[in-house]
Chains A and B, each alone.
Chain A
Amino acid sequence: MKGRRLYLDGVSVVFDGFRALNNLALIVEPGELRAVIGPNGAGKTTMMDVITGKTRPTEGVVSFGDADLTRLDEAAIANLGIGRKFQKPTVFDALTVFENLELALKAPRGPLPCLRWALTGEAKSRIGATLREIGLEERAQDPAAILSHGQRQWLEIGMLLMQDPDLLLVDEPVAGMTDAETEHTARLLAGIAGRRSVVVVEHDLDFVRALNCRVTVLAEGSLLSEGSIDHVQKDERVIEVYLGR
């Protein structure tokens, strides 16, 4: 199951004549950490939507390993091993931190297996390990509703870890975080990469620099530039879209 590459080629998404993505190409190799940046409206979130099945591309190829993602729904794509963290953290408020992680834990997803589900020692220790990793051990029995913004972000990252995905898509993980929280998040993500592919969409260039990885710059739905952070920051076209025209 491991070692699949994410492959996008010629992907366009048209909403009522507006091209949110325009002939986009992107390849993420297994185990790679990739940052995606771009001005507002560049199509970063639409790209995530296309990969996770939320939006169907008007044209183009989207595949993960040999699976054609344009034919699958969100749940099937998630079960292929693609996890997503949203810009606005969404956790289940009515459930405890522990129960949120338990729901995300990789296990058969049908109604009957869920009815018969019993928490084994192994599952418990995996949840415990993730609780430590995201620093929420003390809050395990608290309802997710009372967590702070940063803690919700970590819980969501923890839920991604429980899914044990091969590819993680992370949308603006540090938006609205304090410096200390941002640092903790950068450590979390760095620990995740290497074991799996991670694509991070972010506005914060300092954070992207800290990730120390290949950077893809999007503008107006297309690939503008790709390379190291120093390379793209020197790229004339990148400077133009970021600093004005």
Chain B
Amino acid sequence: MPGQDVVKLGAVTIGVLLILFYGGTFYISSRIGKREESADGYMTAGNRIGFGISAASMTATWIWASSMYASATSGYTYGISGPIHYGLWGALMILFIYPFGRRIRAVAPEAHTLAEVMYARHGRSSQLMLAGSNVVGSLISLMSNFIAGGVIIALLSPFTFIQGVLIIASGVLLYTLWSGFRASVLTDFVQVMAMLGAVAILVPTIFFAAGFPSAFELGAASLTPEQSNFFSSDAFLKQGAPYIAAVLAYAIGNQTIAQRLFAVREDLIKPTFLTATIGYGAMVIGVGMLGVLALYLGIEPLGGDLNNLVPQMAASYLPTALVALFFVMIIGALSSTADSDLAALSSLVMTDVYGHLVAGRKKANPALMVFVGRATMVLATGAAVAFASLRLNILDLLVFVGALWGALVFPVIASFYWDKVTNRAFTTSVIAALAVFLPVRFGWLPMSGATALVVEVLSVVGIGVVIGLMVFGFLGLRAAKVAALVSMVASAPFVLGFLRDYATLSGSLVAYAVSTLVCLAMSLRSRESFDFSTIKERVGHFDDPVEAALPDGELAAAPDRA
């Protein structure tokens, strides 16, 4: 109950747990280590990973420490529906990218990054825009996971925050550096099993140790009517709706997801994405329930910081041995995402910077590529540790980057289906969207009169774009047009005159709308008719570029674009 003593683990216990965790993952990665790692293996494990590892890796990568803390915060703030409005939409990010993933994989079966495919589809500027946004996103994610590690170690042990950050960064780099993506996905399996097992044990244990189910009756008075309502409009508008807007943006802008999409065996994409959707949703919503329980118990978060809720619940109601299990769960969550970020960053630099920009695909030296990838991991770790020491507000940064990614979603997806989208349409639409997004997001314009109305009309269009794209992935263009129209008509009365006060949500929707409208307008006037089958010839393996890129062993020049 409130005021209860919090269990702290000693320096020796934490040290032993960290040595066991990182020593174990290092041992696992050393078992698959090769004296001479191939460039394609280092980035995508040869595009033929099986279901067990890929589903585990997709789940582990998408779950990070912040998603657990944020889900619990949502439960504590918005009541019983709060974790649903965090975890469900997060899970749908994985589900909604799946149909697009199948198309992307069919067009470019041996790609390493989405940006690389944009290079083959459009050219340099589109590639660099997507690669740049991927790099920024992965660096922020890496930094965020190091911060989460520093915080949990400082909270549960005598170590300081900075010591915690350095321990986590060194541990992750240790087991990821040599084998890259292959080490990342294999250790993900072990980490996700530990995380899933921990949630299956810890949530019910805390539930009964804290006096539930009877505490539901005793604590019901602590909840407001909105918090008690499963269909709370407050929870939907403040937590769920902004997340829905971000669903596709995060999936498109995140290289860690694209990397797994290119790595899994093509026939296993569907079961992998479905399993990861359910695994992510169940785990994040399950941990989020700790926030709901804390609300019923009337617990105040330590130091007023809602991020302390989950560790506080664990440390208050679990015996020492299970607190240690909880610690391993959090370390597993943040390490699995951090190693994926390192693998993503190294692939981006190997493929999009060295492979296509510096050397050119046909002239790229695979051994040098692997060296570039490893050097990238070391530099990225150093940069993330330096940024982590500043303790920036991670969620604000992520929301900002997520909205930036919103500007890319329609041009990227349209480029995989519509032969008339040009490089100029792609680039112009993204820049135009960013030019409108920034003043809306940061309130540089007075949100009143005609300006506010224009922003709200664009937001209505943005809602239509988001819903339309989601439906398009599963049901095709005609259903998507109907869904977009219906959602715009249905949402307009609630958006016009209302959304101007929600800068984050309207900024994100405006980014979707402007990029779509500009891309549509320019593409409709375009006379280009792109042949998608040429992408397979332009994007392929680096270790054996000609043979791997051509069907049936046919020998022909694999063109490299300038």
Query: Do chains A and B interact in one complex?
Result: no
| Interface residues in chain A, defined as those with a beta carbon under 8 Å from any beta carbon in chain B | none
